[in-house]
Amino acid sequence: MRIVLVRHGESEYNPLNIIGGDPNLSEKGLEFANNLNKFIENHSKWFPKKCICSAKKRVQQTVGAFKNKMKSILVSENLNELNAGLCEEITYTQFYQMYTEEFTKRYQNKLSYRYPNGESYIDLIERVRPVVEDIQSKGEDVFIVSHQAVSRALMAHFTGENLEDIPHIDIPLHTLIVIEDGKKKGMISVGSIDMSDTLIQESFDFA
C-alpha cells in the first residue's frame, strides 16, 4: 500500500506566521497546485488515484488543480488542521505577547499541550484515527492532502514514529512524503521541473 502525503500549497497566512484560520492560497501556493497537477500527470503510473483531503479552503484550492486526475476525492473534516482555539488567526509573536504562560507550556511539551478552547497533538492523533483505519482496512493507495500538524499525526499511525517526535517532524511545503508498507520511503520536492519517471522509480524502488 502506497500513501502519499502533502500539505496544501503556501497560504496567504504562511509567510506571515499566522496560526490556523481558513485563508486562500498565495500566488506561490497556486503555482505549486499547478505544478502538482503536472507532476501527477507526468507520473500517473505510480501516483495514487484516490484522494482524501481536508475541508479547509487552502486544501480545496490545491486539490482543485488536479481533481480531474483522481478517480475519487473524499473530503474529511477529520483532516482539518489542528484547532488552535483562542490562538487561531494570530501570529506566534502575538501568541507569546498575549498568552505568555500558554506559549511557555507549549514550548515545554508540544505533544500534550492543548490550546485554550482548542486541541493538542494527542487530540489530533485520535481525530485522524478513523481516516487511518478506513485506509488500512481497504488497503488502497491513497493521496492525502492536508496540513503540517495533520501530516505529522498521520505519520504517527502510518509509520509508527515515536510519539514524542511527532510534533517535530519536518513537513516542508510543496513536498510529497511517500510511505510504503509502513515505512517512509522518502520525499519529493515538486517544482516546475519534475524528475523523470525512471529516476523516481530508481530512487523509490517502485514497481
Q: 81 catalytic, yes or no? A: yes
Per the residue annotation, which of 2, 7, 106, 152 is the catalytic one? Answer: 7
Residue labelled with grid coordinates 506561490: 28
Give whole-number Cα distances, 48 to 27, 165, 180, in Å: 26, 27, 12
Nearest to 13 by CA among 89, 93, 114: 89
Nearest to 70 by CA among 145, 1, 143, 176: 143
Strand arrangement, sheet containing 50-53: 72-75, 50-53, 142-146, 2-7, 175-180, 183-189
Per the residue annotation, which of 2, 58, 106, 152 is the catalytic one? Answer: 58
Nearest to 143 by CA among 181, 177, 182, 187: 177
Q: 58 catalytic, yes or no? A: yes
Per the residue annotation, which of 2, 35, 81, 106 is the catalytic one? Answer: 81
Tell me how far apart the alpha carbons of residues 158 and 152 are, in angstroms, rounded to a whole number: 10
Q: 8 catalytic, yes or no? A: yes
Per the residue annotation, which of 43, 106, 127, 147 is the catalytic one? Answer: 147
Q: 2 catalytic, yes or no? A: no
Tell me the catalytic residues.
Answer: 7-8, 14, 58, 81, 147
